Structure 1
């Protein structure tokens, strides 16, 4: 299921059959094309991991086809050229057009397999390097020795044994993507792509969002989408509740059919991915509010995993602090500083409303701004800043005069009681609350958490 996908393009049936059989024996998945037209059809139907392309074919030759793919910006994988009449000039031309390598006929099967293996490895390393540049500060395995983290890692091992959809819940910054990557690294798809969906933030750009996910075809030119990129591997959709209704419906159909159609295209593309998604709040609220497709929710919610906030496993804070000191000094070149035991104990008792993301940012700030080799308790206290508590947990307990309070405390007290009043009007439904107070739900959840407002207390 996770075998790498190779296309063999050659007009000689014997060569197609021989190469196909050998590659399949080596564990690859193989499709064959007898000419350029068939190759283009297969290329549209699924993005290959590698193409073996004969140069001399009736009709459109291999060099012309390679040039067409490059000019249309659809040269999406390594291409190895094959020829029985190869010349240095031809090999140079093919390399300039983007070919990875060049092998001569009659084919040496040992050389062919080595060339293919090297090309696929180089392609995989390039993808991994791009991923590493995006995730320089990420840890492959979630950090922490608390019972909570040990239980989650054991859960990840069990999930990784099954090719199933996973829905990760947790507050912003708890490390949902880190767990998704950890599951991927333990799974049978570990050598295949892990693609994080970087979706457009403009809510009105539905068309653009569909293009990003499903790709686009326009007059024969293919713009590959994230589903193409992730085929054979894992697609991670962060904050999936942000998908608009049209994209939700398209994704639902794709998951039900195990295939999809690019925007503007007419051909189905087979889909072979493990889908993981995350949300910072309970999607059932969105389902009840009519903002998320109920059938899609049940398709995604096969294995729900709750990642707890950092304040629920504070014993992991010292290890996380030291982990990010090591990461930031090694990867970002920041000066090493030791965090004193007193500072670690203080930070262990911090509430961490921004969770692990806040902790990482704090460590980075301490390393950048500090002048001493050790982070003192006073420096840690100053870096965190004093939090002003909200007094009441219910409406009607506002101090006698808000004017006697500092501005920030008075504002937070009013916001706290205002949100409780509005929650009661909305029967505890956060979707309704967001409409009432004219706030985006992610910001609203963050605001309620910072003010210690629990919407579950006010539902009927």
Structure 2
């Protein structure tokens, strides 16, 4: 399995080799560069997860390289500076430019290993926090004690032990992403990145750059495949990928190598692919909108997430799970569903599946009062009238007695759901109406967990 990949840049061969031996003894994968030129080449060859960078080198100093690498998108990974003749001013400048830490030579081996471990752990936590900000829940086991959910969990645990690619199918809101994250957490790649690509939100024609990255004038943008190295790449709504990007992805999967956009040297990848879709890819293959060879690449192990209506006996447990989650993570007041409310919800059709249930729980905790959620309150929430264009139409769904951020999110959700209905799912027309670029609108709908299917 892929290990953390560290680049050591130092013009002194003895130091390079010593550091390499020490890191390899700790099971790290190590590459070396003797000057700025070879360091730049090493970054083109492969994205490191940590760089140990000397300051004084014959062709270019480490501070200049640090500044160069940090332009535009920021440093590609944590950088630890090393120097035997550093000053306080140099250390301050390196920190200002984004260096994680500064080590003085002669190196203390214990301090070197401690700093490397801390830098890698800090980067992992940073990526996890980014993921948690995008997704309002942490990784958790798919909820439910019904036979169908028990079988699904056992199936995922078995599949996770084998490094095969997986195709997850299921209706919108059924929990495909939850399943993918859970599968990753059970696999041998659990300590490596989980990188999500929402294919439907990529601007047409930009999929190649998003997936494979790009090179221009010596500057490198690492795509999602390289960001996921050693871990899992989750391709959500893979059926929406354009044919050109599909062709390039097939080539990358066939050879485990690819070229960045504008690049000339191949990059090697080690990544597990989990793809998800609400569509029937076999039909898409017959219609010519999805490549047959890519379908067979992705469909090594199929997993189907059942709609909530097929395991309605899990509704009470799901209600309790999301009540506890919102109370713990968003500090909403605790309320419990009485028996009548639970019975009503067990018989609800749940066209929006688990996502609809989750949003209902959040709305009832925010807008309701009292410890108990009654059947009448649930029926009123389920039968809420369509949002009008006046303030009066919003007052039943948005309360003013809450922090501004939550009120704004509630309003945006209600407003965009209304616009989505008014334009019958046509995102292009809707974007013009609300005054947003289509790409930004896709992201906003995704962040608010509003289910949609573009009907252009």
TM-score interval (norm. to shorter): 0.7 to 0.9
Structure 2 counterparts to residues 248-397 of structure 1, below 5 A: 248-385=246-383
Structure 2 counterparts to residues 17-166 of structure 1, below 5 A: 17-166=17-166
CA distance in 2, matches of 1:105, 1:138: 41
Normalising by structure 1, we get a TM-score of: 0.82
1:11-69 CA distance string (max 9 Å, x none): 11121111111111101111111111111111122211100011111111111111111
Count of paired positions: 389
CA distance in 1, matches of 2:353, 2:256: 36
What is the match of residue 392 of structure 1? none
What is the match of residue 215 of structure 1? 213
Displacement of 1:207 in angstroms is: 2.7
Displacement of 1:443 in angstroms is: 4.2
Displacement of 1:333 in angstroms is: 2.4
Name the CA shift for 1:327/1:255 in 2 (closer, same or farther; >3 Å): same
Name the CA shift for 1:138/1:120 in 2 (closer, same or farther; >3 Å): closer
Normalising by structure 2, we get a TM-score of: 0.82
Displacement of 1:243 in angstroms is: 0.2
Q: Secondary structure at the match of 2:131?
A: helix
What is the match of residue 241 of structure 1? 239
Answer yes or no: is the 8 Å Cα contact 2:193–2:231 preserved in 1: yes
Displacement of 1:92 in angstroms is: 1.1
Answer yes or no: is the 8 Å Cα contact 1:4–1:29 preserved in 2: yes
CA distance in 2, matches of 1:87, 1:138: 43
Answer yes or no: is the 8 Å Cα contact 2:139–2:185 preserved in 1: no
Could you tell me which runs of 5 or more consecutive residues in structure 1 were left unpaired when the two chains were aligned: 388-441, 446-460
Q: Secondary structure at the match of 1:21?
A: helix
CA distance in 1, matches of 2:50, 2:359: 40
CA distance in 2, matches of 1:99, 1:201: 33
Answer yes or no: is the 8 Å Cα contact 2:199–2:237 preserved in 1: no
Answer yes or no: is the 8 Å Cα contact 1:206–1:247 preserved in 2: no
Answer yes or no: is the 8 Å Cα contact 1:342–1:377 preserved in 2: yes
Displacement of 1:378 in angstroms is: 1.3
Answer yes or no: is the 8 Å Cα contact 2:139–2:181 preserved in 1: no
Higher Rg: 1
